[in-house]
Amino acid sequence: IKTTDTEIAQLLDVAELISRLEAVMGEFSQRGAGLVQPVRSVVPLQKHGGFLGLMPAYLAHEDILCTKMVAFYQREQGSSLPTTQATVLLFDPVSGVVSAVMDGEVITARRTAAVSAISAKLLMPRHAEILCLLGSGHQAVSHYEVFTQAFTFKEVRVWSRSKERAEEFARAAGGPVTVCPSVKEAVEGADVIVTATNASEPLLFGKWVKSGAHVAAVGACRPDWRELDDDLMRDAVVYVDSREGAAAESGDVILSGAEVFAELGEMINGSMPAQRDKTTVFKSLGMGIQDAVSAKLVYDKWKSQQ
């Protein structure tokens, strides 16, 4: 089958997706033999300022075989082209035949936002009131949708390098959103901050982040790219989706020299504590197992409707 982005969005129920992602992230952090997921393989396209990433995964217990191909580029400001483009392939693990070809952008944005929401559920301040989104692209939109479904905030703020795109984001949102003219004004006093940008240099500085805030950082997926400065990374308690992935791919972790305290799955399992009374950073890089459970959820629901 082939599915459209609209169909995928309709089939990915937020609550069910979060439940499945919690289960697979917990299993991953136990390092059992039931999950096979190499660190993302990346082909640099230096001539064109881009990269091609390959993210295969096999979940033996659920018998899910999947891979995602994602191209990501550093675009010039004002470019009409998307920063990332992705396709997800779901296979029949018995025969190796492709079962489904899906728009990977929708799956990536929705599952990334769901994983960020899991981190926020465990780490954001109790009685959090202010959500701040840095970025106005697909990831920011998906985070807005998922976070406003999963939590209740009194105020939502957005900042983007393009004021026009930030204003368009606010108009399209299902509720009131304040467009902020600077990162500093957007993040000051915020309880939860999502960085979903294509930045390669730090744009969020620790001196602007209030004590006890939670930061979900989903951009900067290369070892020389960053969204967060040294002060924030070193002063916060840092959580990641995968220690191996962060050590190989996260410029925020590698270049700051910050210590990774725990994986998200370790918190889910209860083997490491959620230090929600401290300033926390969840550095998300994305994992093949996340794409796999998301794609299988879409496929199973699609089949049930036929």
In degrees and rounded to multiples of 5, residue 130 shows phi and psi of -120, 120
End-to-end CA distance of the chain: 11
pLDDT at 3: 65
The token pair that represents 253 in the structure block? 């972790």
pLDDT at 2: 62
Name 152's Cβ contacts closer than 8 Å, sequence gap at least 6.
Answer: none
The token pair that represents 292 in the structure block? 């796999």
Q: Which of 215, 183, 220, 184 is nearest to 199 (CA)?
A: 220
Q: Check: CB of residue 35 under 8 Å from CB of residue 60.
A: yes
Helix ranges restricted to H, 128-262: 138-150, 163-172, 183-187, 230-235, 243-249, 251-256
Centre a 10 Å sphere on the Cβ of residue 209 and count the other Cβ atoms it contains. 25
Q: What is the pLDDT along the chain (306 residues), one digit of tens a residue?
A: 566 777 888 899 999 999 999 999 999 999 988 999 999 999 999 898 899 999 999 999 999 999 999 998 877 777 777 778 899 999 999 999 999 999 888 999 999 999 999 999 999 999 999 999 999 999 999 999 999 999 999 999 999 999 999 999 999 998 899 999 999 999 999 999 999 998 999 999 999 999 999 999 999 989 999 999 999 999 999 999 999 999 999 999 999 999 999 999 999 999 999 999 999 999 999 999 999 999 999 999 999 988
**Integer Cα distance of 34 and 89 in angstroms:** 20
pLDDT at 1: 59
Over its C-alpha atoms, the chain yields an Rg (Å, rounded) of 18
